[in-house]
Amino acid sequence: MFDLDQAIRKIPDFPKQGILFYDITSILTNPEAFAYCVDTIVGIYRDSGIDAVACIEARGFLFASPVALQLGLPIVLVRKKGKLPGETLEKTFSLEYGMDTIQVHKADVAAGSRYLVIDDLIATGGTVKAAVELIEEGGAAVHEICCIIGLPFLPYKDLLSGYQVRTLIDYHSE
């Protein structure tokens, strides 16, 4: 079993005092760690019946792209407001400080399809929840949510109750 923990750099007090930042760039610079993450996700979802992979800007893109390619599935980008050129659906949600808005191309969310949602890390779950709502607003369904890192001491399980959230590694304190 690959030791993913040793491949994740932890940076205290980033981006502000009191936050322990889990830095996935140290996974990307470690091909064995990156392959472990991609292969594990591909193994979980190979025969799951999903139709597409949705991923969240920007770190979610990095993990979802090789997964979608290996599964032979479309990849749909959930982006920050103002980045997508076509007609979009959008959702505004609250962050720890202030608000953020994400968008998806309306034409890319196929009605009736089952999506796997991928991001790098799930903390409060606010970002993933907004992405799930966008996909559902487009008429598609969310099969599961898969993130590399979970912080289960934050309330993402409550926010996403009713959805299966998988993580490859969990950290249980700040």
Q: List contacts with ligand AMP (CB under 6 A).
A: 19-22, 59, 119-127, 156
Minimum CB separation of residue 127 from ligand AMP in Å reads 3
The CA-based angle 119-124-129, given to 5 degrees, is 60
Residue with tokens 């993450």: 37
Q: Which residues contact 89 (CB under 8 A, 6 or more apart)?
A: 103, 104, 106, 109, 134, 137, 138
Return the number of the residue (50 or 160) whose C-beta is nearest ligand AMP.
160
The amino acid sitting at 137 is E
Minimum CB separation of residue 125 from ligand AMP in Å reads 5
| Burial class, 110, CB count within 10 angstroms (exposed 0-12 / middle 13-18 / buried 19+) | middle
Return the number of the residue (59 or 91) whose C-beta is nearest ligand AMP.
59
Catalytically active residues are 59, 96
Q: How far is CA 139 from the centre of its chain?
A: 20
Return the number of the residue (26 or 40) whose C-beta is nearest ligand AMP.
26
Minimum CB separation of residue 100 from ligand AMP in Å reads 9
